[in-house]
Amino acid sequence: MKFWDTIKNLFQESEKSTPAQPAIHHLIQREAEFIQQYELWVNRLVKKRLFNWLSEQYAIYLTSPNDIDKGIDFLNTPSSKGFVIHFYKTNYTNQEGQFLLDYLKDKVLELSYLKQLSDVRSYNRPNWVETVERHYLKPQPIFKEGEKINQKFGNIKIELLFKNEKVHQLKFSATIYKDHLYADASRFEALMQHILH
């Protein structure tokens, strides 16, 4: 009897899950085989094509924002800048989405950023199960007396969203601090230049 009660409770918890209270929440841990495949992908043509396309779309966005591909959108608010790739409009696989997620994280880490969190959350939406893999990175704090804190490009969040276990979109965003303790952030264009090359 206790076994079935446990199963019933699991289903009930899953039904009530929300982004704030996911049914499943754990840290990202990549298997050795995944890491091996990722290292091969970094040097493959499919990765190069994806980044050529991303670079092209960003250049178009800077000069003629209405002409960008339907597979991408760019974020531009006073405090947050970034992009969203709509994987459901492409032929990329779940694993290629995960490779891109991890590659963008690795590129940001090259800029003296620290990984604050890498986790996976799953919860129910009205018509699908949503799973989000994300990396959250912050600039390494350097405090010098009498100087404002260098926030670099602000906090960076990279999220890969799945709908019913099918890759849906990837969101990359840099959010800056608007606080007198911090120096002005570096330009987002410089961050894009780094991750695209």
Domain ranges of the chain: 2-196
Packing angle, helices 188-196 and 45-63, rounded to 10: 160
How much is the pTM? 0.88
Rounded CA-CA distance 90/21 in Å is 31
Burial of 101 (0-12, 13-18, 19+ CB in 10 A): buried
Q: Where are the alpha helices (DSSP H) in the chain?
A: 2-15, 32-41, 45-63, 94-109, 188-196
Rounded CA-CA distance 93/98 in Å is 9
**What pLDDT score does 120 carry?**
96
Q: Say if residues 160 and 86 touch (Cβ distance below 8 Å).
A: no
- 39: tokens are 């290292």
- 48: tokens are 């190069």
Distances (CA, A) of 173 to 21, 137, 150, 163, 170: 23, 11, 18, 20, 10
Rounded CA-CA distance 94/161 in Å is 10
Q: 185 — phi, psi (to 5°)? A: -70, 155
**What pLDDT score does 7 carry?**
42
Per-residue pLDDT of the chain (197 residues; tens, 9 = 90+): 455 555 455 445 545 556 566 678 899 999 999 999 999 999 999 999 999 999 999 999 999 999 999 999 999 999 999 999 999 998 899 999 999 999 999 999 999 999 999 999 998 888 889 999 999 999 998 778 888 888 999 999 999 999 999 999 999 999 998 888 888 999 999 999 999 98
**Other C-beta atoms lying within 10 Å of the C-beta of residue 124:** 15
**What pLDDT score does 5 carry?**
58
